[in-house]
Structure 1
C-alpha cells in the first residue's frame, strides 16, 4: 500500500497541492489525470521519495518515506527522462542497472530486448538512440526486475502503436494482488482501458 497523508507541497510561495490524502491499494491500476502543472509528476516524485513533502507524510506499507532518507522499495519508475550513460551502449546501460538490482538473478535482458524489438540496437550508444528507442529502454529498466510497484509518468510517449498496444497488454497482465501500478497519460484511451481508478487533479 502507498499513501499520502495530509500532504502539502510548496516551492517557495507556490503551492502545488495542499492537505492531499491519497491511498493506493495493491491489485489496482491507478491513473492520475489533470492539466499540465496540476501536480501529477510532483505527486509521483513524492511517492518515490525523490522529493519530500513540505508537510504531511508519504508511507509505504505504513513505513514513512524520507524519514531516514529512505526511498520506495521494489519499484520500477519512469519519471520525466531518466538519465543514462551517454557513451555506453544500450546493453551496457541495462547491465549496469541489473548489477544493482536485488533481483539480478531473475533479470533476463535478452527477453526484454526481444520483447521491444531492440536486439539490433543493443550495441548502439545511448546518445545515438532515437526517442522511441530510448522510451523502450526506460520501460525495460522499470519492468525488468519484476517490482511490486510501477510508477509510470507518460510511459507511452514516443511509442508506435504496435509497441503501445504491447505495453498496455503487458500492464494489464502484470497487475496482481501484491502489485500497484500508478500511471499518467495524456491519451484518454490509455486511462480508460487500463485504470481501475482515476484520480483527477484540479
Structure 2
C-alpha cells in the first residue's frame, strides 16, 4: 500500500515549552485519517511541521516520499490545506478569491468551483467581509477541493458549518477518497470522525498514544454498561477488575467494562437490578478513556 504521509520520531520543542515528541504516524493513499486531541495537544504543531511552516527540532517527515522541508514546493503543488483559523481577503468576492487562488496554482476551473459552491450552498458573488463564519469556511473548503489535489490536509474543517452542510462535507470527502485522494483531518467533532475516518491517531501532551482503525480501537476499549438498581448501591461496589469510569446519574450507573464482561455481570447480579444495557464504546468514549482516564 502506498504511503502518502510518514513521520519518524518527529519532534518540535519550543524552548522550555512542550511541542511534539517522537511523533510517528503513517497515512496511506486513499485513506481518510483522523488526527485527534484537544487544544494544545500538538495537532497544529504536527500539521505546520508537515507543511514546512515550522521546522522540526529532530526526526523526519515525508509526503509522497518527499522530504517535507527540502521538497516543500513540489509537495505543495500536490496538496490543498485548510487551516483551523481561516482568514480571507475581505474586499474580494468569493468568486474573485477562488479565481485568485486558482491563478496562483496555474489554473482555475470555474465549473469545478460552481459545482462545490452548489454542494455547500454558498453565493460566491458577495464580498467575503459580508460572509458569516460558516460561509467563509465553505469558500475555504471550495478552494481546497476545486484544485483536484492528491492530498487534503484539513484542520477543523467543519468549524462554523451548520449540521446539514457538515453532512454534505462528509459526503464530499468520502467521494474524494473513493477517487484515490488522501484526507488528513483534525477535528473536535468526534461523531463525524467516527462516521468517515478509516483510521485515527490520538495525540496527548505531544505524544501519539493510539493509532489504529476505529474498529480495532473499539474492540480493545471494551463496552459501555448502563445499569439501574432497585436498591441503594454504593459506588464502592464497582471497585471490580475490568470496570473503570464509573459515573452516576438519576439513580443509574454508567461504566466502562474492559475486562471479562461475564465476570462483571456476575458481580453486579449480587444486587437487585432493575434494568441493564450494554453497548460498544463510541469514539468519544474511547477518547475520554485516554484523556479523562489518564490512559
TM-score, with structure 2 as normaliser: 0.63
Superposed counterparts of 1:51-200, under 5 Å? 51-67=54-70, 70=73, 71-105=75-109, 108-119=112-123, 122-176=124-178, 178-200=180-202
Deviation, 1:85, is 1.6
| Alignment match, 1:45 | 48
Length-normalised TM-score, structure 1: 0.91
Computed over aligned residues only, the root mean square deviation of the Cα atoms, in angstroms, reads 1.8
How far did residue 117 of structure 1 move?
Answer: 1.6
Q: d(CA) in 2 for partners of 1:49 and 1:107?
A: 31
Distance 1:96 1:172, change over 3 A: same
Tell me if structure 1 keeps the 8 A contact 2:29–2:181: yes
Equivalent-residue separation in structure 2 for 1:98 and 1:151 (angstroms): 18
Deviating more after overlay: 161-170 vs 70-79: 70-79
Shift of 1:75: 1.1
Shift of 1:147: 0.6
Identify, as 1 or 2, the structure richer in strand.
2
Which aligned segments of 4 or more residues in structure 1 are displaced greater than 6 angstroms? none
Q: Structure 1 residue 106: deviation in Å?
A: 7.8
Q: 1:123, 1:34 → 2: CA distance?
A: 37
CA distance in 1, matches of 2:117, 2:179: 27
Deviations 1:53-107 (A, max 9, x none): 1112211222112126545341121112233222111111111011122453586
Question: Are the structure 2 counterparts of residues 56 and 177 from structure 1 closer, same or farther at C-alpha, using a change threshold of 3 Å?
Answer: farther
- Structure 2 unaligned regions, length at least 5: 205-295
Aligned residues between the structures: 200
For 1:104 and 1:94, the matched residues in 2 are separated by 8
Larger Rg: 2
Distance 2:111 2:125 in 1: 19
Separation of aligned partners in 1, 2:179 and 2:160: 30
Higher relative contact order (CA 8 A, sep 6+): 1
User: How far apart, in 2, do the equivalents of 1:72 and 1:5 lie?
Assistant: 20
Task: Note the alpha carbon deviations across 1:17-59, whole angstroms, 9 max, x for none.
Answer: 1122111111211111112110111111112222221112211
Which whole-Å CA distance do the structure 1 matches of 2:50 and 2:129 have between them? 29
CA separation in 2, counterparts of 1:56 and 1:37? 20
- For structure 1, list consecutive stretches of 5 or more residues without a partner in the other structure: none
Distance 2:177 2:107 in 1: 19
